[in-house]
Amino acid sequence: MLLPTQAEVLEFHKLLATSLEANLSSGGSAGPSPDLLAAATKNPGLIYQANEIDGVTPLIVSAKDMEHSKWLLEEGAPWNAVDRAGKCAGNHSTDHNIQPLIDLHCTHATRSELILSQTLRNGFNILNVNEAKESTDIDYAPCTKKDYLQRDIKYSGTDQLLDSDNDAVMMEWERPLMSLHSEIICQPCTLPRVVLNVGFGMGIIDTFIQERLTDKDTHVIIEAHPGVYAKMKADGWCDKPNVIVKFGKWQDVMEEFGGAYFTGIFFDTYAESHLDMEDFHAELPRILKRGGIYSFFNGLCPDNIFFHGVACNCVKIQLESLEFEVEFEGCEIKVKEGDWEGTRRKYWHFDQYFLPVCRYLGEGGGKGGGGEEKEEKEEEEKNVPPSKKQKT
């Protein structure tokens, strides 16, 4: 495909503006003009090319117009191209508050991302996920780090855990969120509860879990970083009577658990990709009781609210395919500018947090995680953690 020159791009944008105007005055019946269609047929690169002035693409220019947006998306315009202000067409449709267009972009983006994810899974690493090189612009440097577990971490005061690049692994401002997550995964239950947390970090959620569980319940923690594990040991986590600490990557430790074992699970690791998270999700039906609750730290695409929405949609669809019922509970969270002091960059940019509540409805697990059914004693015994007496 011939890459259009800037002059051609600007000419195309002019044709587009005229076509949009004509479509507007026809009440949406005109659609893309013959001149516009002819130009795009002659040089298909014009469909996705941004102008150099403000980085605006034809799809962004068309953010108020259904007929042009549909046509451009069908012709391959990328939904996620952003202008210099960091906004994609979906952000602009959201700003204009035009629901049918927001839905069009969201549906198209979700479908595209699910296909992309499957493509990557099939071995076509077209984006070099996990292999992205350090960018000179910190905002674009990858947050997935293959060697994170081999590098140093440091607890900075009581309110930050930093990696060796001073990227924040965990921060104190997340405390109220961790409290809400812990409440959801420690739901009341007729059985002794067995709750799993993957990723100890600053131990914030584990402290809340301890407060919510009784000595009849079991609390399992998986942690892979030697520095974090050393802190857990020093702070006495390995000696608590109802706590089982598994040191290792969840990828290596999970196979020890099975047979509808947990009543609640929380997942919050660091430096891993969305493909790792999908792999974790695939394990859930094997280890979560029917009616059990799964939740995760929802830091998906945290710097663009439209991308965030699309990512939440993708996870919801993937978890639904594993027989989960998925809801996102909105809650306010305000992070003060000063909280980021000492960290290399922010990893959260919104005032609202969408807390995932995922209830397992499938048959893969046993009954009773939700507390609505009384379990037979035999069943309970079957679910006693195999390694309860062998703490790591």
Ligand X SMILES: C[S@@+](CC[C@H](N)C(=O)[O-])C[C@H]1O[C@@H](n2cnc3c(N)ncnc32)[C@H](O)[C@@H]1O
Closest Cα to residue 194, out of 269, 286, 288? 288
Determine the number of helices (DSSP H) and then strands (DSSP E) in the chain. Answer: 13, 10
- Site residues for ligand X, 213-232, by CB under 6 A, read 222-225, 228
User: In whole angstroms, what is the distance from residue 172 CA to residue 22 CA?
Assistant: 54
How many CB atoms are closer than 10 A to CB 13?
19
Residue 169 sits in the site that holds ligand X (CB under 6 A): yes
Q: Which of 12, 250, 261, 262 binds ligand X (CB under 6 A)?
A: 250
When binding is defined by CB under 6 A, the residue of 269, 295, 313, 383 that contacts ligand X is: 269
Helix (H) or strand (E) holding 169: strand 168-171
Token representation of residue 135: 């960018």
Residue from 67, 83, 167, 268 touching ligand X (CB under 6 A): that is 268
200 belongs to the binding site for ligand X (CB under 6 A): yes
> Which of 68-76, 269-277, 320-328, 348-356 is the region at the interface with ligand X (rule: CB under 6 A)?
269-277
Among 203, 264, 368, 370, binds ligand X (CB under 6 A): 203
Nearer to ligand X, 73 or 245 (CB): 245
193 binds ligand X (CB under 6 A): no
Q: Which is nearer to ligand X, 195 or 204 (CB)?
A: 204
**Which of 145, 125, 123 is closest to 133 using CA atoms?**
145
Smallest distance, ligand X to C-beta of residue 376, A: 33
| Closest of 201, 111, 93 to residue 156, by C-alpha | 201
**Site size with ligand X, rule: CB under 6 A:** 23
Q: What are the beta bridge partners of residue 353?
A: 331
Under the binding rule (CB under 6 A), the answer on residue 272 touching ligand X is yes
Would you count residue 201 as binding ligand X (CB under 6 A)? yes
Q: Greatest CA span in the chain, whole angstroms? A: 76
Q: Should residue 243 be labelled a site residue for ligand X when binding is judged by CB under 6 A?
A: no
Helix (H) or strand (E) segment spanning residue 328: strand 324-332
Q: How many residues does the chain have?
A: 392
Nearer to ligand X, 201 or 264 (CB): 201
Least separation in angstroms between CB 270 and ligand X: 4
In the complex, least distance from residue 120 CB atom to ligand X, rounded to whole angstroms:
18
Q: Give just the sign of the alpha carbon dihedral 207, 275, 76, 54.
A: positive
| C-beta of 190 vs 207, nearer to ligand X | 207
Kind plus residue range of the DSSP H or E element containing 219: strand 218-223
* DSSP 8-state symbol, 202: T
Binding segment for ligand X among 183-191, 243-251, 302-310, 323-331 (CB under 6 A)? 243-251
Position 178 contacts ligand X (CB under 6 A): yes
Q: Among residues 299, 293, 64, 30, which one has the least CA distance to residue 169?
A: 299
* CB of 73 vs ligand X, minimal distance in Å: 36
Angle, to 10 degrees, between the axis of helix 66-74 and the axis of helix 6-25? 140
Distance of closest approach, residue 363 Cβ to ligand X, in angstroms: 28
Backbone angles phi, psi at 235, to 5 degrees: -85, 5
**Which candidate, 57, 74, 54, places its Cα nearest to that of 66?**
74
Site string for ligand X, 53-72 (x = CB under 6 A): --------------------
Tell me if 310 contacts ligand X by CB under 6 A.
Answer: no
Closest CB to ligand X belongs to which residue?
A: 201
Q: Which of these segments, 21-29, 34-42, 195-203, 382-390, binds ligand X (CB under 6 A)?
A: 195-203
Is residue 249 at the binding interface for ligand X, with CB under 6 A as the rule? yes
β-pair type (324-332, 352-360): antiparallel
In contact, 246 and 253? CB cutoff 8 Å = yes
Asked if 199 touches ligand X (CB under 6 A), the answer is yes
**Least Cβ distance, residue 177 to ligand X (angstroms):** 9
Single-letter amino acid code for the residue at 378: E
Site track for ligand X across 71-110, x = CB under 6 A? ----------------------------------------
Cβ proximity to ligand X, 25 vs 166, nearer residue: 166
- CA 72-51-48 angle, to 5 degrees, is 25
Instruction: Read off φ and ψ for residue 57, nearest 5 degrees.
Output: -100, 165
Return residues touching ligand X (CB under 6 A): 169-170, 178, 198-205, 222-225, 228, 249-251, 268-270, 272
